[in-house]
Amino acid sequence: MSIDGVSDLWDQLLGAQPDPPRALVLVTAVAGFLAVAITVVWRVTRNAVTIAHEGGHALIALLSGRKLKGIRLEFDTSGLTLSAGRPTGLGMILTLLGGYIAPSLVGVLGAWLLGGNRITLLLWLAVALLLLMLINIRNFFGVISLVVTGAIVFAVSWYASAQVQAAFAYAGVWFLLFGGVRPVFELQRLRSRGRMRDSDADQLARLTHLPALFWVGVFLVVNLLALATGAFLLAGQWLPELSAAV
């Protein structure tokens, strides 16, 4: 590739795209919500939330000085991240805390990038993170999940029109913002039935001597705040018009 070609590619990656139509922001918000709210759809789309969940565990484990042993993604949309290090202490607490809040926080990061119209940058970052995660996958279904997801995101970022890229990016971010909330309710429902006794919340309870329900509440509050923040960022292009109207 020539120097001019590299320069053009770099400009495309870091440059801002045009503002999307307001209708697109609203339609993708509805699409993201329905992908979470409709159970039969959620059974499939939840895999993307699991990828972000386990990625959150893995990232925090590495940042806290733990050694990442591997990640598994299962067909039933469950997952497991194994790391080596002290079984107690702040690093372990943060690693456990990172899972349920990761999809929502990734959604906020995506909303911030979209607020600056960095659509291409967002898509390429997603591909890069999926590739990094793929290195640590330890089961066949996990490999397939990440390869398929990464291929879809790359195909959209490389071949699709600007309008399609914008719709895909906005729908994906809305989905993560909404999709971070539902698993918390699912977690507590299963816990109330005596299942998932070794959930992230229960492990945090054993480490901190705070009730598991407290940690479920932390997950929920963080994710609801992330949803509100992300929605504010995604609707930011409307704020000047709303202020002028007032």
Query: pLDDT at position 243, please?
Result: 39
Q: In this structure, which amino acid lies at residue 222? A: V
Residue 245 above 50 pLDDT?
no
Sequence spans of domains, the chain: 20-237
Query: pLDDT at position 235, please?
Result: 84
Mean pLDDT of 70-77: 95
Query: pLDDT at position 117, please?
Result: 87
For residues 72 and 193, the answer to whether their CB atoms sit within 8 Å is no
CA dihedral 25, 28, 34, 35 (to 10 degrees): -140
Mean pLDDT of 56-76: 96
**Which residues are CB-contacts of 71 (< 8 A; sequence separation ≥ 6)?**
54, 55, 57, 58, 79, 80, 81, 82, 133, 136, 137, 138, 142
**pLDDT, mean over the chain:** 90
| Percent over 70 (pLDDT), the chain | 89
Cβ count within 10 A of residue 173? 26
Query: pLDDT at position 124, please?
Result: 93
Query: pLDDT at position 196, please?
Result: 85
* pLDDT level of residue 22 (50, 70, 90 thresholds): confident
pLDDT digits (tens, 9 = 90+) for 137-192: 999 999 999 999 999 999 999 999 989 999 999 999 999 999 999 999 999 999 99
Residue 234 above 60 pLDDT?
yes
Mean pLDDT of 185-206: 93
Residue 242 above 90 pLDDT?
no
Residues found in the chain: 246
Mean pLDDT of 42-58: 97
For residues 50 and 79, the answer to whether their CB atoms sit within 8 Å is yes
E strand or H helix at 80, and its extent?
strand 79-84
Query: pLDDT at position 8, please?
Result: 54
What does residue 213 show for φ and ψ, rounded to 5 degrees? -60, -30
* pLDDT level of residue 70 (50, 70, 90 thresholds): very high
| Percent over 90 (pLDDT), the chain | 81
For residues 157 and 124, the answer to whether their CB atoms sit within 8 Å is yes
Query: pLDDT at position 244, please?
Result: 42
For 155, what's the count of Cα atoms within 13 Å in the CB-facing half-sphere? 6
Query: pLDDT at position 4, please?
Result: 47
Rounded Cα gap, residues 61 and 185, in angstroms? 25
Query: pLDDT at position 16, please?
Result: 65
Residue 99 above 70 pLDDT?
yes
Rounded Cα gap, residues 244 and 246, in angstroms? 5
Greatest Cα pair distance in the chain:
61
Predicted model pTM: 0.91
Rounded Cα gap, residues 133 and 49, in angstroms? 14
Residue 7 above 70 pLDDT?
no
* pLDDT level of residue 119 (50, 70, 90 thresholds): very high
